[in-house]
Amino acid sequence: MDLDQISRPGRVADTDEAISAEELALAARNHGIPLEALRYDLTPPGLHYLLIHYDIPLADAETWQLAIGGRVARPTTVTLADLRARPATTVRVTMECAGNGRARLQPRPVSQPWLVEAVGTAEWTGVPLRDLLTDAGVDPGAVDVVFTGADHGIERGVEQDYQRGLSLADAMAPEVLVAYAMNGQPLPPQHGHPVRLVAPGWYGMAHVKWLRDITVTDTPFTGYQNAVAYRLRHQPGDDGDPVTRIRPRALLVPPGFPDFMSRTRVVDAGVHLLEGRAWSGQAPVTAVEVSADGGRTWAAADLEPDTGHRWAWRRFTHRWSAAPGRHQLTARAHDATGAAQPVGQDWNRGGFANNAVQLVDVVCR
Ligand SMILES: Nc1nc2c(c(=O)[nH]1)N[C@H]1C(S)=C(S)[C@@H](COP(=O)(O)O)O[C@H]1N2
Ligand SMILES: [Mo]
């Protein structure tokens, strides 16, 4: 049987084509953060967004083995007990799916239909990857490190284990972890139990869950998730640049209370303290601005002092004087590379790394 018959090619929706039952099925499996949970520094358990390409594997922490091999002097296999016996590091990380914002693009890339909510912040504890690689003895000619999860599926006709590569230089960054705890607890099944990679600053696809194998290679990795899936393409045949680090983004906690279906917010006239979170994986956030007219005029928000958590979001606040009528709130983040969020869309076929500003419709009474 030809698997192409059940596996969809990558495509872009027709003009005015509604979200399909297939996209809804993905959205129901892979939930986002409820935007009101942006109030917490650390996203409470269960409210962190989720993205799982295939199925959550059934994993036993007692018997789990992580193989480390390829272009190393001393290939090895480590258990969870081996990892726990080593010096641990904890890093606070804001993780965001590269497809965040996709569902608002025109035309819409058909995939997991995120609006803006594919983000969360957790404290990950584990062993720095570079300690494990250094102990294994990386060969001088090594170029990439390939991470393989225990999950398996088909994507656009290609059967595969979920697998991503990082360059050796990126893999050796001190903040990259082989993590076994999330917010001080064993990883939950949906977040990679018992072991995952955490690559702070990178879009979510790099943080391989249910990690079972680390292989050092002396040729560039050309697996599906690096060479085919996560590329910024404008035409179907483009080679496309790889999706890498998180572009700046700010999200507001929607003020007031919501209408059930439209999610339009209702607030009373007067001064409201708006709050939100801003992050960038490229460079530290330098400023956040807020607009109450859909991005036509902007005012500087108050960015809370840097708490030293380089890889985590920062809180911002802004006093907004609401007058009766309809408003459209938004915020935009700037980072130290000079990048800022676009008000309009920056379209690509996969809808990746799309950081167009959030729009929050508000009725003030
Ligand atoms: N093994 C494996 N790792 C994976 C994935 C996956 O499907 N399988 N999804 C990736 C993607 S696309 C994202 S955005 C993040 C999501 O991590 P979270 O579900 O813990 O938030 O996991 C990444 N790691
Ligand atoms: Mo993702």
Q: What are 69-128's pLDDT values in tens digits?
A: 999 999 999 999 999 999 999 999 999 999 999 999 999 999 999 999 999 999 999 999
Q: Which residues of 304-313 are buried (b: 16+ CB within 10 A; e: fewer)?
A: eeeeebebbb
Same domain for 211 and 308? no
Mutate to test the pocket of ligand 1, among 33, 43, 52, 212 (most ligand atoms within 8 A of CB): 52
Same domain for 269 and 206? no
Tell me if 151 CB under 6 Å of ligand 1. yes
Instruction: Choose the final residue of a domain: 242, 261, 280.
Output: 242
Element (H, E) at 174: none
β-strands 177-182, 241-242 pairing: unpaired
Tell me if 48 CB under 6 Å of ligand 1. yes
Give residue 318's domain range. 249-364
**Residue 353: nearest ligand to its CA?**
2
Instruction: Choose the final residue of a domain: 242, 264, 283.
Output: 242
pLDDT band at 9 (very low <50, low <70, confident <90, very high): confident
Same domain for 308 and 333? yes
CB atoms under 10 Å from CB of 58, counted, come to 9
Q: Is 63 in contact with 82 (CB distance < 8 Å)?
A: no
Instruction: Choose the final residue of a domain: 202, 222, 242.
Output: 242
Tell me if 334 CB under 6 Å of ligand 1. no
Report the alpha-carbon distance of residue 40 to residue 43 in Å, rounded. Answer: 6
For residue 125, report the phi and psi dihedrals to the nearest 5 degrees: -115, 135
Tell me if 49 CB under 6 Å of ligand 1. yes
231-270: pLDDT as tens digits = 999 999 899 999 999 999 999 999 999 999 999 999 999 9
pTM of the model: 0.98
Across the range 214-231, mean pLDDT stands at: 98
Same domain for 177 and 275? no
Same domain for 130 and 227? yes
The predicted pLDDT at position 240 comes to 97
CATH label of the domain that carries residue 183 = 3.90.420.10
Same domain for 7 and 49? yes
Same domain for 173 and 273? no
Tell me if 205 CB under 6 Å of ligand 1. yes
Tell me if 193 CB under 6 Å of ligand 1. no
Same domain for 229 and 265? no
Number of domains the chain is built from = 2
pLDDT tops 90 at residue 284? yes
pLDDT tops 90 at residue 3? no
CATH label of the domain that carries residue 303 = 2.60.40.650
Same domain for 237 and 258? no
State percent of the chain over pLDDT 70. 100
Same domain for 224 and 328? no
Same domain for 201 and 256? no
Same domain for 10 and 100? yes
Question: Whose CA is closest to atom 12 on ligand 1?
Answer: 205
